[in-house]
Amino acid sequence: MTAAIDYEAFRAEVRDFALTRCPPDLREAVVKLKKQGRHEMLTWQKILYAKGWGAPGWPREHGGTGWDLRQRHIFDETLAECDCPTQPYQALRHIAPVLIAFGTDDQKARYLPPMLRGEAHWCQGYSEPGAGSDLASLKTAAVLDGDHYLVNGQKVWTTGAHEADMMYALVRTSREAKKQQGITMLLIPMDSPGLTVREIRTIDGIHNVNEVFFDNVRVPVANRVGEEGKAWDYGKFLLSHERLGGANVAPLIRLLARTRRMVAEEYATRPDHPRKADLDRRLLRAEAEMQGVQALGRRAIEDMVAKRPLGAVSSVIKLVSSNLMQALDEIGLDATGHRLAARFRVVGEGGANAAEDGIWWLRNFMHGRARTIYGGSSEVQKNVLGRTLFGAEFATQPMRPGDLQDAARRLAEAFDARFGRLAQVAERQALQAGTWREIVGLGWPGLVIPEAAGGAGGTLGDVAALVEGAARGALALPVAACCGVAAALLADAPALLEQVAAGRATVAPAFAALHGIESGTGFAARWQGEVPLLSGSLVGVEAPPGATHVAIACDMEGEAVILAVAVDDPRIAWRRHERLDNRPSLDLGFGGGTALPGTVLVRGPAAAAATRRALQTGQLLGCVEAVAAMGAVLEQTIAYLSTRVQFDAPLATQQVLRHRVADLFVAQEAMRAQVTALLDAVAEGVWPDRGIALARLHIGPAARRFAASVIQLHGGMGMTEELPATRLNKRLLMLEFEYGDAAAEETRLLAAA
């Protein structure tokens, strides 16, 4: 039996090795965003080879480690976290797996050992003028001449060709009806007669890419990989073999940390500079969005380990991570550009002005423009996604699948089918009242209440499933507030909690810090002896028809207190509203001072803890609602564009609209992964406080942008109340203003930094 692998011990071993054995000058080069070329890669490769870690992805019989996928990911992630150079990936991770699978024994014996020992540097000869993303259009020709091929043509954007010993190149050996056929892979020594390398001057001032010209270059037939004309299949094999690389988002995380440190150092003597405040906000937003791509990376690893298909996740990670890297590059430019942009180069010297501290941030910004071009441009990635989204019937994936979510969705869809036809507020509220009674009868408000208090003893994940299903079906009722948040707020109020579990009470939670403003009249609470005295008003409290109580979390003279007031208590002025998203809400007016004896449920530290947990519950369930509603409205938008005909063709045939839908899908997928990871953490007993706050910061404004884009994609129909998508969009717009808006969250997080 194979012994179980201690992955955390393995991670610690890799980290210790990286921090103690990677030369400081190499790590400094990575930190300063310098070019990683032949010297850096091969120096580090020799060290890894001596340790026995030279080829994590190779099988043992060829000198590899034999590690499983999770170990390989940990290895890559940890080296990136420790600022180590990359390994010579063109050799180890691109051509080597192809040689192992399709090469001859002689090719393996000749080329693999030097790669492993760090003695040979390779480059890739794929792209050509007119054949970049459309690689199958390549024209570089190889004609058989005895036991050699004569190669003529040109390659372009060839990274590291000026430093390489060998190139693996795709060449055309025949013209077939299908352009993917007739392509052959050759291994070409870079010192071959007739081969010329010419530098391409790029905007970052670094010599990294080249043109390579072939003028009757003779390549032995023995250097052909596999069969003639079959290289397209080998290229697809290479891509499938290197799926792991896209899941490693550690370089992105490290870039965030470096950028944040640079901003602090750049403005150390000017901490109050308005530019620093702007940069800090942008860094925080980048961190919030980065949670999603981290979660996507972890999910991709788990899918690969379980041998599940990756689907579109590789394209999603590429799009999100490249955009985030460019956002960080731009922060670097804005932080240092005022000091360095005017002195980028010394006259008479090539490259950037290396003498200037921080010049690499300008260089990195310029180089970073290519992040959305190489490895499949963003536009090509969106084309790929568009084919998936508008192919077979598309459905987004749920976060918490199962019977609870299915039941909630069925109830919600039945509700919305009737709700959308009702024009009068009174009619809508009558339907809401009847549906809420049905929800109470199903026991949803007691789902997460402990069994000792008469509830079902469910988990937050169970409530999340209800919230997700209800949101996908556009249920205009406060499932999250009254089935999740209220239970958290009443955790130490057993009497009222038991009434909720028994279906005799429905409690609407209210947070004075969020609801306590109306026309400039603020809410205030103080003690009158042992009796609460409330003044001002609480507004916009989400409450279903038939709510029996409002639980108010407030501060009274520095002490956290939770009160419960009966709805329609005559001492309080009540006003009912319909919210932007058609849900019912209440205003509570206390005038100049209303004494409310007998309303205190909990006070002191217990009240503070319950309030904090209830707010977090609301924020997390709000994120669940947002992601679920986005998924539903995305499905409806795809269906609409696929059937709506304009100028004699479905709207879905227009590339610009397909790209906009691809953008929506990418955003929803990243946020779905982000929220799923948070729910998983809570299920394991860990409440990721900062993670929830960052998700709230990111998803609230993103939901607004999502809704606005969907309205635009629906054209005039997006402005009507006829479509279910319209009601989902209104819910997305409202979510930003619940449980603290994004600006408040941002201010709090920045203050805590």
Catalytic residues: 242
DSSP string, 18-30: HHHHS-HHHHHHH
- Residue 260 to residue 305: CA distance in whole angstroms: 34
Q: How far apart are CA 556 and CA 93, in angstroms?
A: 63
Measuring CA to CA, which residue among 95, 116, 229, 207 is closest to residue 158? Answer: 207
User: In this structure, are residues 169 and 219 in contact, taking their beta carbons and an 8 Å threshold?
Assistant: no
142: part of which helix (H) or strand (E)? Answer: strand 141-145
Of 128, 98, 131, 139, the C-alpha closest to 115 is: 98
Do residues 305 and 67 lie in contact, with contact meaning Cβ atoms separated by under 8 Å?
Answer: no
Q: How far is the C-alpha of 338 from the C-alpha of 424, rounded, in Å?
A: 58
322/313 Cα distance (integer angstroms) = 14
* Closest by Cα among 522, 509, 517, 500 to 619: 509
Q: How far is CA 450 from the centre of its chain?
A: 34
| Whole-angstrom distance, CA of residue 384 vs CA of residue 373 | 15
Question: CA-CA-CA-CA torsion for 501, 623, 668, 630, nearest 10 degrees?
Answer: 60
Ordered alpha helix ranges (H), 684-723: 689-713
Q: % helix / strand / coil in the chain, to the nearest 5?
A: 55, 15, 30
Q: Which tokens belong to 358?
A: 């921080």
Q: What residues are paired with 565 via a beta bridge?
A: 550
Residue carrying structure tokens 């080329």: 111
For 292-328, b/e burial (b = at least 16 CB within 10 A) is bbbbbbbbbbebbeeeeebebbbbbbbbbbbbbbbbb
Q: How does strand 224-225 pair with strand 166-172?
A: unpaired
Residue 485 CB partners (closer than 8 Å, separation 6+):
509, 614, 617, 618, 621
| Residues facing residue 656 across a β-bridge | none
Residue whose token pair is 């002025």: 573
3 state SS for 456-508: CCCCHHHHHHHHHHHHHCCCCCCHHHHHHHHHHHCCCCHHHHHHHHCCCCCEE
CA–CA separation, 256 vs 383, rounded Å? 29
* Helix or strand (DSSP H, E) at 52: none
Picking from 128, 148, 137, the residue whose alpha carbon sits closest to that of residue 182 is: 137
